[in-house]
Amino acid sequence: ELRTPLAALQAQLQVALRARDEGERERSLTQLQCGLTRASHLVDQMLQLARLDPESGLPDSQPVDLSMLAEDVCAELGTAILDKNLDFDLQASAGCTITGQPDWLRVLMRNLVDNAIRYTPPGGKIVVRLNVEQNACRFSVSDNGPGIPVAERDAVLRRFHRLNHQDQPGSGLGLSIVSRIAELHGAQIQLGDGEAASGLSISVSFRKN
């Protein structure tokens, strides 16, 4: 997974070095910068996944207020939401407290909301919900983007799996990290249709304290 982006970076550097004019050099350097950003993101995702692999249970588990965490994550991504002029709605019920690892839960929420922002077209709609259902806290992110075919919904939770039609940069690790964090918390993931029976909805159900 690292060989391909590194080879592309080397090729882009060679093009920049051999550029015949300033315009060609500028275009090559811009592509190189984009490639470095993608490679850095891939390395970060792989390191996150590596930290989740050991069968050591949850370190530093403690009571976590999912409502407050969801509000923080959505606020952090506010600029990206505004940049795409998205109709964004956060519906968070009080009393959603679970036992977990707060940093990992933040990564789970951020990956899901960030994915929705990436794949929802400008002016689209995203709804983030946090509901208390009997003895469970259910966190879900729904959008009206391109969605994922039913036949591929299980596969996207595996490492490095990317849909053929996706035109957004990514490593195919985001949802596998979400899946691993959910597994370590004894949570259940469900994928379904998004807003207005289009797009995608991903929900994670945690055992409530």
Residue 140 φ then ψ, to 5°: -140, 150
pTM recorded for the entire structure: 0.74
In this predicted structure, the answer to whether residue 164 has a pLDDT above a threshold of 50 is no
Task: Check residue 203 and give its pLDDT.
Answer: 95
Distance of CA 174 to the CA centre of its chain: 5
How far apart (Å, rounded) are the C-alpha atoms in residues 184 and 26? 46
Rounded to the nearest angstrom, the gap between the alpha carbon of residue 173 and the centroid of all alpha carbons in its chain is 8
Least confident of 45-49, 96-100, 205-209: 45-49
